[in-house]
Chains A and B, each alone.
Chain A
Amino acid sequence: MSHAIQLLVGTRKGAWIYRSDASRRAWTVDGPHFLGAIVNHLVLDPRDGKTMLMAASTGHLGPTIFRSTDGGVTWAEAKRPPAFPKVGPQGAGGEPARAVDHSFWVEPGHASEPGVWWAGTSPPGLFVSRDGGETWDGVTGFNDNPKYWDWCPADGGTPDGALLNQIVIDPRDAAHMYIATSTGGVFESLDRGASWAPLNRNVEASFFPDPYPEFGQDAHYIALAPTDPDRLWQQNHCGIYRLDRPSDVWERIGKAMPEEIGDIGFTIVPHPRDADTAWVFPMDGTEVWPRVSPGGRPAVYRTRDAGASWERQDVGFPSEQGWFTVKRQAFCADANDPVGLYLGTTGGELWMSDDEGGAWRCIARHLPEIYSVVAAPL
């Protein structure tokens, strides 16, 4: 049974909302919203089906959060966006005085906590709102952790700035959280963010003398299997991994990818109902790391056996000269049966499959660089 979908698309130049019919064949476009704004993430609250939060900034103006409580019809700015505390020119320990450059990820809180939202920023910071995104407070358990500057060194990070790029909440326990960072890897909290511990065993960081440090990895994307939240998937800077709790040792399942494709990429998408199935969008990590589709032939790879093997899915994509890059938040699934998959490219194209990756078609072209694609029921 297929249901209508809305795709919330954040780009370097604004946000768009695409809405489908029940068959997911016909799409209408609503936008641009905030033309010119750098929109890193646009998310619908699944708890009420109408509140949306947008992590936005512009080339000139500082970061903020825009909120809609009517499904994207009208918007208002957060009264107090995420911001670090004011300190002197340097912190007490001589560290740089931090200022949020941009919010990168917004995450609705646990189903039992309506109104709670979380945000991850650059430089890495964890923030929480308890009033639906109106006002935000820093989570001192991470932001002021005694190990913060080891986990998030001031000179570390990705070209657009070091990131706390993801927040994942265990659907069984609101106090159990994971975060992903671009400078420290994955961290786990069992107490709603009051304390954190690295969770990176056996995850490679090939850019250090010790390639398997306790922290320092670049965790591009993590996801829980929705029907088995003890299973974590990770697309890391250095490969594809799976972790089955309570173990704390990640397994590099990307080793089963074809050698000529490799297991470099930005994102991984779990199947909404089958905990053994996930999709990745591989990118070229050879030589100078072009991070485009290997060979100019875009393809998704799917595992249906928890990473023991992978199959190529490329029907509908360009068979040559297709140099796609798909960023962290720009690949997602809906909850339909069969599952719909959606990805946005840095070249401004939106692609979808309505048969779990079997065939792909382009549903939008000529958008700005796509940063995020989120599928939600309409």
Chain B
Amino acid sequence: MPRVSLPSQLQSYSGGLSRTEAPGDTVAAVLDALDARWPGIRFRVIDEQDRIRRHMRIYVGPDRVLDIARAVREDDEVLLFGALSGG
């Protein structure tokens, strides 16, 4: 199952967890799985047009994700970051 890394900004949803696992063969499916476990978390990261929010970053391994339809393998790690939102 894909591993998921969660930034501090999302740990109010995850009960403080920074690492977890979530099923899914795309980034979108992984996010859906996270949202099923922690309702509301997906919309804070992805807008209603399925775009990654401006100050969030998603990577699969070393590769930056620009489209949440991107495929995810069982042994991948999906990394979510809060990045550069200003002071």
A99 at the A/B interface (Cβ < 8 Å)?
yes
B39 at the A/B interface (Cβ < 8 Å)?
yes
Complex-state Cα separation, A97 to B10, whole angstroms? 26
Known A77-B40, A79-B39: A60·B47 in contact at CB below 8 Å: no
B82 at the A/B interface (Cβ < 8 Å)?
yes
Taking residues whose C-beta sits less than 8 angstroms from the other chain, chain B's interface range is 20 to 34
- The interface residues of chain A lying within 8 Å CB-to-CB of B44 are 61-62, 64
A85 at the A/B interface (Cβ < 8 Å)?
yes
Complex-state Cα separation, A86 to B47, whole angstroms? 9
Complex-state Cα separation, A115 to B86, whole angstroms? 36
Distance to closest chain B CB from A14 (angstroms): 13
A132 at the A/B interface (Cβ < 8 Å)?
no
Distance to closest chain A CB from B14 (angstroms): 13
A87 at the A/B interface (Cβ < 8 Å)?
yes
Selected from B40, B49, B51, B85, the residue in CB contact (under 8 A) with A60 is B85
Taking residues whose C-beta sits less than 8 angstroms from the other chain, chain A's interface range is 20 to 34
The answer to whether A99 touches B9 (Cβ under 8 A) is: no
Complex-state Cα separation, A84 to B43, whole angstroms? 12
- The interface residues of chain B lying within 8 Å CB-to-CB of A43 are none
Contact with B along A287-310 (1 / 0, CB 8 A): 000000000000000000000000
Residues of A231-285 whose CB lies within 8 A of B: none
Distance to closest chain A CB from B86 (angstroms): 6
Known A77-B40, A81-B43: A60·B48 in contact at CB below 8 Å: no
A58 at the A/B interface (Cβ < 8 Å)?
yes
A83 at the A/B interface (Cβ < 8 Å)?
yes
Selected from B7, B10, B49, B82, the residue in CB contact (under 8 A) with A86 is B49
A94 at the A/B interface (Cβ < 8 Å)?
no
Complex-state Cα separation, A361 to B74, whole angstroms? 62
Count: A-B pairs, CB below 8 Å: 55
Minimal Cβ-Cβ distance residue in A for B83: A60
- The interface residues of chain B lying within 8 Å CB-to-CB of A99 are 47-49, 51
Q: Which of A59, A97, A100 has the most CB of B within 10 A?
A: A59
Residues of A66-82 whose CB lies within 8 A of B: 77-79, 81
- The interface residues of chain A lying within 8 Å CB-to-CB of B83 are 60
- The interface residues of chain A lying within 8 Å CB-to-CB of B86 are 59
- The interface residues of chain B lying within 8 Å CB-to-CB of A87 are 49
Residues of B17-69 whose CB lies within 8 A of A: 39-40, 43-51, 53, 55-56
Minimal Cβ-Cβ distance residue in A for B55: A60
Distance to closest chain A CB from B47 (angstroms): 4
The answer to whether A60 touches B39 (Cβ under 8 A) is: no
Distance to closest chain B CB from A355 (angstroms): 38
Known A77-B40, A86-B50, A99-B51: A62·B45 in contact at CB below 8 Å: yes
- The interface residues of chain A lying within 8 Å CB-to-CB of B7 are 60
Distance to closest chain B CB from A82 (angstroms): 9
Question: Could you name 18 residue pairs across A and B whose Cβ atoms are closer than 8 Å?
Answer: A59-B55, A59-B85, A60-B7, A60-B55, A60-B56, A60-B83, A61-B45, A61-B53, A62-B44, A62-B47, A64-B44, A77-B39, A79-B40, A84-B48, A84-B49, A85-B48, A89-B49, A100-B47
User: Interface of B with A (CB < 8 Å)?
Assistant: 7, 9-10, 39-40, 43-51, 53, 55-56, 82-83, 85-86
